[in-house]
Amino acid sequence: MSKATGFVMFVLGAAVGSVVTWQYTRKKYEQIAQEEIDSVKEIFSRRESATDVEIISPEPQTAKIGKPEEKPDITEYAARLERDGYTNYSNVGAEQKKEEQARLRRREAALKRTEEEIARKEARQNALNEEMNLDTVATNAGRLSELHRELTELSEELQRLYEEWEELAEE
C-alpha cells in the first residue's frame, strides 16, 4: 500500500468517524432535549389539573337577629398571633435598627480589610515565585530554601484569610 493510498484511507476514515460521531451526538442531545420538554409539559399539565377546581358560589348570607356574638379578648388575639408565628414588626425600635446597621458596617469593613490583606499576600506570593525563578536564586540553595519557607508560611496565611473571607461573606 502506497503512502497516498494510506493517506486517502486515513482521511476517509476520519471523515466517516466524524459524520458518525456527529449523528450520534445530535440524536443523543435531541433525545435529551425532548425528554426535558416532555417532563416540563407533564409538570405544567399536573399544575393545570391541580388548579382546575370547581367554583361553588356561596349561599347568600342572611342577617341574624338576636344577641351579637361576643368578641374574644385582645390578649387571646395576641396569643394566637404569637402561636401562629406572626411577628410584630411595630416593636422593632430604632436602637435595634442602629445595631443591625452597625453590625453590617463592621462586617463590610472586615470584608474589605480581609480582601486588601489577601491582595497584599497574593502580590507578595507572586513576587516570591518570580524571585525563585531567577537563575541567580535557583543556583543558591540557601536563598531558595528561605524563599520556599516564606512561600509556605504565606500560603498558610492566605488559606486562613480565604476561610475568614468566606465566613464573613456568608453572614
Amino acid at 162: Y
* pLDDT over 70, % of the chain: 82
Q: Is pLDDT larger for residue 11 or for residue 94?
A: 11
First CA to last CA distance, the chain = 72
pLDDT of amino acid 158: 92
Burial 23-37 (b: 16+ CB within 10 A, else e): eeeeeeeeeeeeeee
- E strand or H helix at 79, and its extent? helix 74-83
Q: What is the pLDDT of residues 56-106, one digit of tens each?
A: 555 655 555 555 567 767 888 777 777 777 766 665 566 778 888 888 899
Q: What is the pLDDT of residues 112-125, one digit of tens each?
A: 999 999 999 999 99
In the structure grid, which three cell numbers stand for residue 101, read together?
446597621
- E strand or H helix at 140, and its extent? none
